[in-house]
Amino acid sequence: MPGLVPGIHAFLFLGQDVDGRDKPGHDEAGIAGAEMTYIAKPKFHHPGLPKNELGYTHRDYEGKISTLCAGCGHDSITAAIIEACYELSIEPHRVAKISGIGCSSKTPDYFLGNSHGFNSVHGRMPSVLTGANLANRDLIYLGVSGDGDSASIGFGQFAHSIRRGVNMTYIVENNGVYGLTKGQFSATADRGSKSKKGVMNTDNAIDLVAIALQLGASFVARSFSGDKTQLVPLISAAIRHKGAAFIDVISPCIAFNNHAGSTKSFDYVREHNEAVNRLDVITGREPITVDYAPGSVQVVDQHDGTRLALRKIDADYDANDRLAAMTFLQKHAAKGQVVTGLLYVDPDSDDLHSHLDTVETPLNRLEAKDLCPGTSALEKINASLR
What residues from 186 to 245 belong to the interface with other proteins (CB under 8 A)? none
Binding segment for other proteins (CB under 8 A), chosen from 239-247, 278-286, 321-329, 372-380, is 372-380
- With a CB cutoff of 8 Å and minimum separation 6, the contacts of 325 are 213, 220, 319, 343, 344
How many C-beta atoms surround the C-beta of residue 121 within 10 A? 16
Does 24 bind other proteins (CB under 8 A)? Our answer is yes
Q: Whose Cβ is closer to other proteins: residue 26's or residue 182's?
A: 26
Q: Whose Cβ is closer to other proteins: residue 334's or residue 385's?
A: 385
Does 296 bind other proteins (CB under 8 A)? Our answer is no
- Of positions 77, 96, 162, 187, contacts other proteins by CB under 8 A: 96
Please state the closest distance from residue 8 (CB atom) to other proteins, in A. Answer: 12
CA atoms within 13 A on the CB side of 72: 22
Does 314 bind other proteins (CB under 8 A)? Our answer is no
Binding segment for other proteins (CB under 8 A), chosen from 79-87, 152-160, 285-293, 314-322, is 152-160
Please state the closest distance from residue 97 (CB atom) to other proteins, in A. Answer: 8
Does 45 bind other proteins (CB under 8 A)? Our answer is no
Please state the closest distance from residue 59 (CB atom) to other proteins, in A. Answer: 12
Please state the closest distance from residue 310 (CB atom) to other proteins, in A. Answer: 32
Q: Whose Cβ is closer to other proteins: residue 314's or residue 350's?
A: 350
CA atoms within 13 A on the CB side of 282: 15
Give the burial string for 43-81 (b: 16+ CB within 10 Å, else e).
eeeeeeeeebeeebbbebbbbbebebeeebbbbbbbbbb
The secondary structure of residue 88, as a DSSP letter, is T
The torsion of the CA quartet 252, 256, 257, 260, rounded to 10 degrees, works out to 130
CA distance 146 to 187: 11
Q: CA-CA distances (angstroms) from residue 198 to 192, 194, 206, 318?
A: 11, 5, 21, 40
Please state the closest distance from residue 50 (CB atom) to other proteins, in A. Answer: 19
Does 181 bind other proteins (CB under 8 A)? Our answer is no
Does 283 bind other proteins (CB under 8 A)? Our answer is no
> Within positions 336 to 355, which residues make up the interface with other proteins, using CB under 8 A?
352-353
Does 4 bind other proteins (CB under 8 A)? Our answer is yes
Does 53 bind other proteins (CB under 8 A)? Our answer is no
Name the pairing type of β-strands 307-312 and 95-99. Answer: unpaired
What character string, x for contact with other proteins (CB under 8 A) and - otherwise, covers 112-141? -xxxxxxxxx--x-xxxxxxxxxxx-xx--
- With a CB cutoff of 8 Å and minimum separation 6, the contacts of 35 are none
Does 334 bind other proteins (CB under 8 A)? Our answer is no
CA distance 210 to 84: 25
- Of positions 27, 177, 234, 329, contacts other proteins by CB under 8 A: 27
- With a CB cutoff of 8 Å and minimum separation 6, the contacts of 322 are 213, 344, 346
